[in-house]
């Protein structure tokens, strides 16, 4: 057996994996493998190669969450700020009024959940053959969607660069993953077996084989976050009749990245805040008070541009989807109120 060499994280790294991985823990976990052969060394590659990682660890399959629980548990508790036991709760439909019926501030509302299929390795560890089986299973399941969600699936393989660019411009494709995903192995063989399903009205979409097997998305150019959420729940209910999702009692839905486990849900709005843009401290206070987070509208780790903010839930674990929507609704209403009063 090869001697174990404790990995060296970049001196500037503040990744949670660096904070919690002690030499003793490494010695305990490094020799282990999940039944698909996933190892701790593979799980921490992205954190080692990207000093600006916030957590720096990915799961290669559902079993990673138990085999490597002595490193993942503390990271999950720290990231999600949950204490004690975690209970996964089902969702209910919500009937909240649109936040901004006059469209003065909110440009669009979006809710997504991540799901992985039970019995398959997650994207950083999946084989090409299994990735293609995932694509086939999802393609079959979407044919059974109810009439209002029907649409078509478009695989990216074989598209020439100009076609791909056109789809990207129209948000009908996702690009190859970022350097964090790349180092984790998620971009292998891109764009094979990747694609997007979109309903005819483009309000319901499924990304296939991106960071998770499925990213199920409901969105529209309105402030009706409740309607957007209910559409997502309906699509998800139908898909669950045909697809079995990786789930465990302790952590809810299991995802590639431990930041997404639980509800695996991110619900948010794109909102124009011309005045609060100049009062960053006040905006930050409001966002924190309601447990929300700000991103740029270009996606994760992008900057805010032209006063348009992406405001979404921070909490995904230890909370149910319905509560996430209610919190977002209350928080964004307060932010709009503050903007109006300035």
Cβ contact 91:321 at 8 Å: yes
Nearest residue (CB) to ligand ARG, 49 versus 89: 49
Taking the C-alpha atoms of residue 7 and residue 18, their distance in angstroms, rounded to an integer, is 9
Q: Work out how close the CB of 20 gets to ligand ARG at its nearest, in angstroms, rounded to a whole number.
A: 13
Instruction: Determine the 3-state secondary structure of 152 from DSSP.
Output: strand
- Which residue, among 6, 20, 24, has the nearest Cα to 56 in the 3D structure? 20
Q: Which of residues 171-190 bind ligand ARG (CB under 6 A)?
A: 180
113 binds ligand ARG (CB under 6 A): no
Nearer to ligand ARG, 81 or 342 (CB): 81
Strand order in the sheet with 292-295: 151-155, 195-199, 204-208, 214-220, 106-115, 265-272, 308-313, 292-295
Bridge partners, residue 96, by sequence: none
**Binds ligand ARG (CB under 6 A): choice among 13, 34, 53, 116:** 53
Evaluate whether 216 touches 115 at the Cβ level (below 8 Å).
yes
210, 211, 212, 310: which one binds ligand ARG (CB under 6 A) = 211
Which active-site residues does the annotation give? 112, 211, 215, 257, 259, 266, 295, 300
Beta carbons of 113 and 267 less than 8 angstroms apart: no
Compare residues 17 and 91 and give the one whose CB is closer to ligand ARG. Answer: 17
The answer to the question of residue 214 lying near ligand ARG (CB under 6 A) is no
Instruction: With contacts defined by CB under 6 A, name the span among 49-57, 148-156, 280-288, 322-330 that binds ligand ARG.
Output: 49-57
Residue 8 CB, shortest distance to ligand ARG, in Å, is 17
Q: Which stretch binds ligand ARG (CB under 6 A): 51-59, 92-100, 159-167, 244-252?
A: 51-59
Site for ligand ARG in 126-165 (CB under 6 A): none
Pick from 197, 130, 192: which is nearest to 159 by CA? 192
> Which letter, b or e, does each residue of 285-308 get, where b requires 16 or more Cβ atoms within 10 Å of its Cβ?
ebbeebebebbebeeeeeebeeeb
Q: Candidates 1-9, 53-61, 63-71, 186-194 — which segment interacts with ligand ARG by CB under 6 A?
A: 53-61
Binding window for ligand ARG (CB under 6 A); candidates: 48-56, 75-83, 162-170, 237-245:
48-56
The candidate with the shortest Cα–Cα distance to 208, out of 154, 268, 148, is 154
Q: Is 55 in the site for ligand ARG (CB under 6 A)?
A: yes
Nearer of residues 287 and 336 to ligand ARG, judged by Cβ: 287
Structure tokens at 111: 């809710």
d(CA 26, CA 4): 8
Nearer to ligand ARG, 54 or 293 (CB): 54
- Name which position in 46, 94, 193, 263 contacts ligand ARG (CB under 6 A): 46
The DSSP element (H or E) to which 157 belongs, if any, is none
Determine the interface stretch with ligand ARG among 28-36, 47-55, 91-99, 320-328 (rule: CB under 6 A).
Answer: 47-55
Q: Which residue lies nearer to ligand ARG by CB, 13 or 230? A: 13
Report yes or no: 271 and 105 within 8 Å, Cβ to Cβ.
Answer: yes
Q: Give the one residue of 300, 302, 305, 307 binding ligand ARG; rule: CB under 6 A.
A: 300
From CA 81, how far away is CA 319, in angstroms rounded?
A: 12
Is residue 20 helix, strand or coil?
Answer: helix
What is the C-alpha end-to-end distance of the chain, expressed in Å?
66
Binding of residue 54 to ligand ARG (CB under 6 A):
yes
Residues that bind ligand ARG (CB under 6 A): 46, 53-56, 180, 211, 257, 259, 300
């Amino acid at each position: 057996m090869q001697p174990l060499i404790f990995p060296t994280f970049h001196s500037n790294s503040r990744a949670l994996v660096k904070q919690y991985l002690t030499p003793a823990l490494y010695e305990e976990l490094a020799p282990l493998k999940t039944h698909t052969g996933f190892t701790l060394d593979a799980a921490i590659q992205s954190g080692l190669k990207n000093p600006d990682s916030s957590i720096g660890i990915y799961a290669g399959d559902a079993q990673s969450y138990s085999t490597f629980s002595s490193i993942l548990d503390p990271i999950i508790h720290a990231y999600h700020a949950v204490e004690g036991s975690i209970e996964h709760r089902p969702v209910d439909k919500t009937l909240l009024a649109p936040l901004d019926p006059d469209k003065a501030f909110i440009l669009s509302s979006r809710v997504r959940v991540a799901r992985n299929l039970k019995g398959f390795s997650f994207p950083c560890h999946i084989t090409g053959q299994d990735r293609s089986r995932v694509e086939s299973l999802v393609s079959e399941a979407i044919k059974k969607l109810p009439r209002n969600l029907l649409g078509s699936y478009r695989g990216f393989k074989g598209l020439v660069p100009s076609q791909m660019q056109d789809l990207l411009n129209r948000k009908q494709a996702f690009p190859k993953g970022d350097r964090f995903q790349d180092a984790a192995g998620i971009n292998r063989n891109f764009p094979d077996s990747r694609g997007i399903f979109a309903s005819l009205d483009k309000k319901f979409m499924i990304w296939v084989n991106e960071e998770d097997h499925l990213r199920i998305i409901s969105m529209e150019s309105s402030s009706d976050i409740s309607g957007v959420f209910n559409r997502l729940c309906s699509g998800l209910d139908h898909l669950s009749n045909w697809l079995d999702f990786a789930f465990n009692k302790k952590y809810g839905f299991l995802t590639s990245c431990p930041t997404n486990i639980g509800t695996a849900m991110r619900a948010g709005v794109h909102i124009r805040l011309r005045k609060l843009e100049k009062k960053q401290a006040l905006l930050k206070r409001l966002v924190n008070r309601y447990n929300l987070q700000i991103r740029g509208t270009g996606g994760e780790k992008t900057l805010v541009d032209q006063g348009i903010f992406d405001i979404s839930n921070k909490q995904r674990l230890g909370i149910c989807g319905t509560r996430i929507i209610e919190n977002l609704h209350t928080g964004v209403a307060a932010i709009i109120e503050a903007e109006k009063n300035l």
